[in-house]
Amino acid sequence: MIGWEDVYKVVVEIAPLYVALMLGYGSVKWWRIFTPEQCEAINRLVYYFTYPFFVFEFTAHVDPFKMNYLFMAADAISKVIIVVVLGCWARWCSNSSKGSYCWSITTFSLSTLTSSLVVGVPFLNAMYGHMAVDLVVQSSVFQALVWLTILLFVFEVRRTRNDQRNILVLDHHQSSAADHQNHAVVMNDSEIQQQNDDAVGSRPSISVWKLMKEVCLKLAKNPNSYACVLGLAWASLSNRLHFEMPSIIEGSILIMSRAGTGTAMFSMGLFMAAQKTVIACGASLTIFGMALRFIAGPLAMALGSLAVGLHGDVLRIAIIQAALPQSITSFIFAKEYGLHADVLSTAVIFGMIVCLPVLIGYYAILDFVH
């Protein structure tokens, strides 16, 4: 049963995050310390250094041989359900901006990626004990290893494809401009409009092989694509051969990894300060994001858990951990790749505020159903 002491422990975990957030917000909004270029540099520091070290550090200390594979299978099925729904949504709503490829990426992030370690560990420990903590840590490892890696790949494909397309369009316009200079004629309004429509409608073709080659080269240089793999490899070797990480190496990793969550929230505060309003994405998108995080995600996880036969406390833990607040990492990725960072930042900030009553409500409902 959850008591006030347990709620206080969760607040103790969350409050420092908002301190870092407000320091970042105030350093731009009130004190004018950082320029936009410096804010971008801070986000890149988080993206390329502190977050990869953070992922490696917590992954290297798990025991891969004691994973609950049914729990992992349920998580995978829930993500597949959401991907299928989003694929149908994008297909049927192709004329709508929310049904586009980009919005499908953001919706997947809102529905599936949780901040398990920050909020999930203290809260689920109070609800179900040490077993719940083990499952939450396993969920975090699986999320970093599979889903965040896939998300990173999709982001990189999108940015690389846009870069290649812009280069092809620029080359096309430069060559066509030279031709038009030699064929200056008088055109009426309808002819001009037709020419503009043809220019907009024509999309240069991009080589899939060239696209994938460039994406793979970029991912090979990105520490986020292999930090979790290296951590899991180390965890497997250390648990199998029974040896510990040398203290000099562990200290070198910890000095960066401990800054991961704090610098991520600080970067989010910098981003908030650059927006016109605190709720940068508007009320409707905020409600949409909260519905995906606290309703769609747990519902998909419930379906996946029932599909593999989870029951008892493991089933309840699976559903509740899917209702944890939005992953801070999802904002860092969205900010780096320039895709709906305002929506993700709002989801993180307000998600952590409303998560307490939501999680307690899920706990009470699942206990009553039992």
Distances from the Cα of 122 to the Cα of 172, 280, 295, angstroms: 57, 30, 22
Q: Which one, of 316, 12, 289, lies nearest residue 136 by Cα?
A: 316
pLDDT at 338: 92
99: which DSSP letter?
Answer: G
Q: What is the pLDDT confidence band of residue 370, given thresholds at 50, 70 and 90?
A: low
End-to-end, the C-alpha distance of the chain in Å comes to 14
82 and 161 Cβ atoms separated by less than 8 Å: no
Q: Please state, in angstroms and rounded to a whole number, the distance separating the CA atoms of residues 64 and 118.
A: 21
Distances from the Cα of 103 to the Cα of 78, 256, 341, angstroms: 19, 33, 12
| pLDDT, tens digit, 9 for 90 and up, residues 154-212 | 999 999 998 888 887 776 566 665 555 555 444 554 454 445 444 444 556 678 899 99
Q: What's the mean per-residue pLDDT of the chain?
A: 88
pLDDT at 96: 56
Least confident of 7-16, 97-106, 150-159, 212-221: 97-106
Residue 18: HSE in the Cβ half-sphere, 13 Å Cα cutoff: 10
Buried b (16+ CB within 10 A) or exposed e, 299-321: bbbbebbeebebeebbbbbbbbb
Q: Please state, in angstroms and rounded to a whole number, the distance separating the CA atoms of residues 115 and 119.
A: 7
84 and 310 Cβ atoms separated by less than 8 Å: no
In this structure, how many other beta carbons lie within 10 angstroms of the beta carbon of residue 348? Answer: 25
pLDDT at 178: 56
CA 98 to chain centre: 18
Is the model's pLDDT at 37 over the cut of 90? yes
What percent of the chain stands above pLDDT 70? Answer: 88
| pLDDT, tens digit, 9 for 90 and up, residues 308-339 | 999 999 999 999 999 999 999 999 999 999 99
pLDDT at 192: 45
Query: What are 232's two structure tokens?
Result: 């899991």
325: which DSSP letter?
Answer: P
- The more confidently predicted of residues 356 and 205 is 356
- The more confidently predicted of residues 237 and 370 is 237
pLDDT at 200: 44
Query: What are 222's two structure tokens?
Result: 């990105």
Where does 93-147 have alpha helices with state H?
101-112, 121-128, 130-142
Average pLDDT over every residue of 267-285: 91
pLDDT at 280: 83
Query: What are 200's two structure tokens?
Result: 């907009």
Is the model's pLDDT at 148 over the cut of 50? yes
E strands within 131-276? none
pLDDT at 204: 60
Using CA atoms in the order 84, 89, 91, 92, what is the torsion angle rounded to 10 degrees? 140
Is the model's pLDDT at 368 over the cut of 90? no
Is the model's pLDDT at 9 over the cut of 90? no
State phi, psi for 326 to the nearest 5 degrees: -65, 140
pLDDT at 177: 57
pLDDT at 31: 96
* Strand partners of residue 114: 326
| pLDDT, tens digit, 9 for 90 and up, residues 39-98 | 999 999 999 999 999 999 999 999 999 999 999 999 999 999 999 999 888 877 656 554
Query: What are 271's two structure tokens?
Result: 């981003």
Query: What are 262's two structure tokens?
Result: 């704090």
In this structure, how many other beta carbons lie within 10 angstroms of the beta carbon of residue 134? Answer: 18
